[in-house]
Structure 1
Amino acid sequence: MDMTFPRDAINAALGCIASHPFYAGRLPREVADAEEFVARVPLMSRKDLVSEMRKPGFGAFVCPQAVRMNFSPMGGGLVPILHTAGDLARINTAADHQLSACGIGPDDVCVVTFGYHLFVAGLFYQSQMEARGVTCVPAGPGEADRTAALCRDAGMTVLAGNPSFALRLLEAGMPAPRVFFAGGEPFTGNRTLYAAVRRAMPDTQLIDSFSLSEVLPVARTFPGGEGVHVFDELLYAEVIDPETGVPVAEGERGELVLTHLGKEAQPLVRYRTGDLTLLRYTAPVHGRRVNLPRVVFGRTDEMVKAKGVKLYPSELRAVLLGLPGVRGAHRLRVSSRNGADHLTLLVEGQLDDDASESVHRSFKSQTLVSLDALETVEHLPEGPVMLDERT
């Protein structure tokens, strides 16, 4: 029996969702194992969700029981994200386990600097903190000087917000929190930014997280673990080959696919996130075994296959993110020399020897293949991020 496939939880979800207006006639009510799940349950795209939510009354996803509606930018507009009271309670219960593991409780004061207007992150953190008895200050983003003073006056011990804004708050005189919840931008995946935050908060417990507006929370750092661990009481996570849709082996790169377990409003089944990651199963970390050791490191944009591996434009950004001397523009040129693939990375800016070595090292770690050449240029003409010159 495959212990990594939560058959009972999947079948409980299928039993409820199979009669849902959006899925009726498309899903089995139960499956025997992961292979049958993949064979009989179709993948769902973001386009499928957007198309349905733009129908009058949200189409088949109509949910009169919804008590919260946030919005997320998708498909060139804002798409409603719905939660029932039961959905919010399940999220808070799952988050409570992680907050407890971090030693957060009623004696803490949390300042939330994520946005509140329309979007999801601010209320998401506020709700889970309040459910645990934590005093919560809904500060929102911006006005660093005032927020830093507010943190001092309120006796802040926990901070939730973007890492780059947290650095601004520290510069403005905010005392370092005991625990910092990072989100909204790459954190552990951006070595430069993570190192800057670690230097500025040497004694702070740093928590990375990954969520989507339409699927939250997905995963979060747990003390004693690496990367982020999936909230597997809420979600079943798979990683597939973006081209074929076939699940990849454990530890291989691919596209993250998520299935809600027990979601009442807007349940998503085998939902293609478009995010590149790799998944491993670990020894239990606070009861959790499903791990994304490198969190999310790219998107399934235009793919080029070279040297036997699939390379994605967004992976290049992950390699270059935060490096001094990089001005922004970059291009991977794939050519053929003596019958073999040749990879040249063009970067706009100036890189010293240490930065150049870091690019070579990070590129191989990220993509599993080596760069053949790294060139810096003063100006990179407009064009594709991936340029395939092979004939």
Structure 2
Amino acid sequence: MLDQLNAQLARLADHPFYRGRLPREVASLEAFAREVPLMKRADLVGEMQQPGYGAFAPPVPPVRINLTPMGASLVPILHSANDLRAIEAACATHLDACGIGPGDVCMVTFGYHLFVAGLFYQSQMEARGVACIPHGPGETERAAEVARRCGVTVLAGNPSHAIKLIEAGCPVPRVFFAGGEAFTSNPALYARVQAAMPGAVLIDSFSLSECLPVARTFPGGEGVHVFDELLYAEVIDPHSGEPVADGERGELVLTHLRKELQPLVRYRTGDLTALVRTAPVHGRTVSLPGVVFGRTDAMVKVKGVKLYPSEFATVLLGVDGARRLQLELTQKPNGGDHVLLRIEGQLAHDALTHIAERFKRQTLVSADHIESNDTLANADAVIDRRHDTR
């Protein structure tokens, strides 16, 4: 990986955006984190709003321009022919691992209007000799009928919609590519898809429009494995910017290793995740076991652990009747933190116990008490009363 990073640093030494910002070479991965500055999304947006895309003006003509919303802006994402070939080559190794190739028929039910996933899946399938049906979302009955008529063997789309397709008579695919909503991190939804598609290989995927693809589950592996021939992944403390130890939660930072247009170096995604090293899975050794927990929004420190309110929603995934979560913090007589979890929705004791266990497993913080309420006035939030003097 160090050689790949140094090759990219050398290529970008005279890039208009990075000139004077990057070393031409680093001695170690630790030096890369220490000597290479972090890049914010605002940096990318600011340049792409300039005439001719500012410092990211393409040195070769783009062959594809996706538009993706970033705040109030629709930001162009540029791909050269070489960029697309590199993506297709990386995805080909994954399709091979899944046993997908000529003779398969893939229906893509992701959106195509600005949303990048539809064309992304279509391109990689076609490059591997797979027949592709670019159906897009919605029109469930028609999609199921088309899938039957054309003998679909591979399905790519939103998991909830895929279940409706199967119920409408779509044949069970041999491989299903999920995206657009939490999948492996939502046990209840994952189990519903398993039940609807017995025997199918289920693939969870994570991508960003500006970093495509990031990671996927591979047959025989655990978690989603990073396409490390395309990207170098780090996880940092969102506030200090310092790298965290493997397995610790923090902000995902990505560096393009081969991107020709709009290359990003130490790009702060704003996504909250954890990274672990694994034994090789089809050659890949970096996994995001919980995919993305939330966003690196306002942080609060509880019992010495950093919590991010946006990750609370994932704790409730798949728990029937649990709508939202509220965290109330008070101070114990001995000075420690007392943690009260309130769940919106009337839940049985077993469900509350399950939520408390998931909360601890994800955040590493134990709740001192958990209760359910019909409604919460300030849900998905932290009420911090530790410094009340009343």
TM range (shorter): over 0.9
Aligned-residue sequence identity (percent) comes to 65
What is the deviation of 1:141? 0.5
Q: How does 1:34-45 map to 2 (within 5 A)?
A: 34-45=29-40
1:291 aligns with 2:287: yes
1:331 corresponds to which of 326, 329, 346 = 326
What is the deviation of 1:296? 1.4
C-alpha distance in 1 between matches for 2:94 and 2:185: 21
Question: Which residue of structure 1 lines up, in the alignment, with residue 305 of structure 2?
Answer: 309
Normalised TM-score (structure 1): 0.96
1:54 aligns with 2:53: no
Question: Which residue of structure 2 lines up, in the alignment, with residue 210 of structure 1?
Answer: 206
C-alpha distance in 2 between matches for 1:78 and 1:214: 12
What is the deviation of 1:77? 2.3
C-alpha distance in 1 between matches for 2:98 and 2:122: 16
Secondary structure class of the residue paired with 1:262: coil
C-alpha distance in 2 between matches for 1:147 and 1:215: 29
What is the deviation of 1:382? 4.0
What is the deviation of 1:329? 3.4
C-alpha distance in 2 between matches for 1:335 and 1:19: 53
Aligned-residue RMSD, C-alpha = 1.2
Amino acid at match of 1:179: V
Q: Which runs of 4+ in 1 moved over 2 A?
A: none
1:264 aligns with 2:295: no
1:250 aligns with 2:242: no
1:12 aligns with 2:7: yes
1:131 corresponds to which of 127, 131, 135 = 127
C-alpha distance in 2 between matches for 1:295 and 1:14: 28
- Which ranges in structure 2 are unaligned for 5 or more consecutive residues? none
The answer to whether the 8 A contact 2:313-2:380 is kept is no
What is the deviation of 1:384? 6.5
Amino acid at match of 1:128: Q
What is the deviation of 1:54? 1.3
The answer to whether the 8 A contact 1:50-1:75 is kept is no
C-alpha distance in 2 between matches for 1:162 and 1:296: 17
The answer to whether the 8 A contact 2:316-2:324 is kept is no
What is the deviation of 1:89? 0.2
C-alpha distance in 1 between matches for 2:347 and 2:51: 53
Q: How many residues are paired up? A: 385
1:228 aligns with 2:224: yes
Secondary structure class of the residue paired with 2:90: helix
Amino acid at match of 1:305: K
Question: Cα gap change, 1:384/1:153 in structure 2, threshold over 3 Å: closer, same or farther?
Answer: closer
Question: Which residue of structure 2 lines up, in the alignment, with residue 355 of structure 1?
Answer: 351
The answer to whether the 8 A contact 1:47-1:75 is kept is no
C-alpha distance in 2 between matches for 1:113 and 1:97: 22
What is the deviation of 1:199? 1.2
Q: How does 1:30-179 map to 2 (within 5 A)?
A: 30-63=25-58, 64-179=60-175
- Which ranges in structure 1 are unaligned for 5 or more consecutive residues? 1-5
What is the deviation of 1:65? 1.5
Amino acid at match of 2:75: V
Question: Which residue of structure 2 lines up, in the alignment, with residue 3 of structure 1?
Answer: none
Secondary structure class of the residue paired with 2:319: coil
Secondary structure class of the residue paired with 1:357: helix
Spell out, residue by residue over 1:111-153, the C-alpha distance to the aligned partner (whole angstroms, 9 max, x if none).
0000101221001000000000000000000111111111111
C-alpha distance in 2 between matches for 1:165 and 1:130: 23
What is the deviation of 1:357? 1.6
Spell out, residue by residue over 1:314-372, the C-alpha distance to the aligned partner (whole angstroms, 9 max, x if none).
2210101231112x333211111211101112222111223212101100110011111
What is the deviation of 1:383? 6.5
Secondary structure class of the residue paired with 1:194: helix
Spell out, residue by residue over 1:150-175, the C-alpha distance to the aligned partner (whole angstroms, 9 max, x if none).
11111000000010110111111111
The answer to whether the 8 A contact 1:255-1:272 is kept is yes
Secondary structure class of the residue paired with 2:290: coil
Secondary structure class of the residue paired with 1:28: coil
Question: Which residue of structure 2 lines up, in the alignment, with residue 372 of structure 1?
Answer: 368
Secondary structure class of the residue paired with 1:98: helix
Spell out, residue by residue over 1:15-55, the C-alpha distance to the aligned partner (whole angstroms, 9 max, x if none).
11121111111011111111221121100111111111111
